[in-house]
Amino acid sequence: MAQWKTRGHLVTEQNNANSQNLDQLSALELVDLFNREDVQTLLAIARARESLAQAIDLVSMALGQGGRLFYVGAGTSGRLGVLDATECPPTFCTPADLVQGIIAGGAAALVRSSEDLEDRAEDGQRAIAHHQITALDVVVGITAGGTTPFVHGALMAAQQRGAKTVFMACVPTEQVDVQTDIDIRLIVGPEILAGSTRLKSGTVTKMALNILSTGVMVKLGKVYGNRMVDVAVTNTKLRDRALRILTDLTPMDRSAADGLLERSGKSVKLSLVTYWTGLEGETAEDLLKQHHGNLREAIMAHQSNSAADGEQAHS
């Protein structure tokens, strides 16, 4: 594994010519400067569109075959990975272990800076062993500057176990060259505050993770149209969202939708299967299972079978 003694050549460490007089700007001038610079995050995502799409396909295939997704990072990058992983269960009703975040320093590093721990590649290797990562899994290494030893140690260990690996960084390949299955480069240029990668680099990383995880869940059938049909109904806000989905997608009023939601074990997806097919309980659940939880495929298959049965009855 390569070791980086100096990092001053990295684009994430360089001075930004547009912010040389940062300490002399008014509050409004500061806001305007940030706004202009943040345009680079959108351009970076556009340039990385193909590698992001490849990552969505790779991860969705792995998860569809029983694998898991792991984000690995340190500092801001690690926190963003943990955040994205943590939001998958309430948004998509995924098992807690399907998408996981690994951060250098563990849970304590989420609220207290532990920057020195990112220099220990062996900790990254141990984290991979601790989570018993296998060839079914995908490990996404996130490091704005591209050089974090903790991340590189984790990626190396994951590759040795046969896992697929993805690298996500904000420096070009000529500055940090890494051998992984998919290489996502999010080039946003030097930060307004030199070296502070929680700024543009952090923003573009959050955008990329949003795209990756949401794209994967769409591919896994966790979405119907643009509706969150696998939402976990665990509080008042999410129950209201579930009822609005049901009343928007069907002619049911809120009272009827609430009753159906309760009969369906608070599952929006199962409620819709029941409403659209007339199937109840285990029969409706079995239909969904046959189509790996994909609501659209399940409904289309039921309609096709019903039409075929109708034709046979009239022949």
Is-catalytic flag, 118?
A: yes
DSSP 227: B
* Dist. CA 187–CA 169, nearest whole Å: 8
DSSP 115: G
Q: For the chain, what percentages of helix, strand and coil (3-state, to nearest 5) are there?
A: 55, 10, 35
Structure-token pair, residue 176: 């940090």
Structure-token pair, residue 250: 């069907």
Q: Which of 13, 29, 37, 87 is catalytic?
A: 87
Is-catalytic flag, 87?
A: yes
Residue 166: Cβ-neighbour burial (10 angstroms; 0-12, 13-18, 19+)? buried
Task: For 116-264, list the strands marked E by DSSP.
Answer: 138-142, 164-169, 182-185
The residues with which 101 forms a beta bridge, in sequence order, are 71
| Contact indicator for 128, 60 with CB cutoff of 8 Å | no
CA 104 to chain centre: 19
Q: Which of 13, 37, 118, 285 is catalytic?
A: 118
Catalytically active residues are: 87, 118
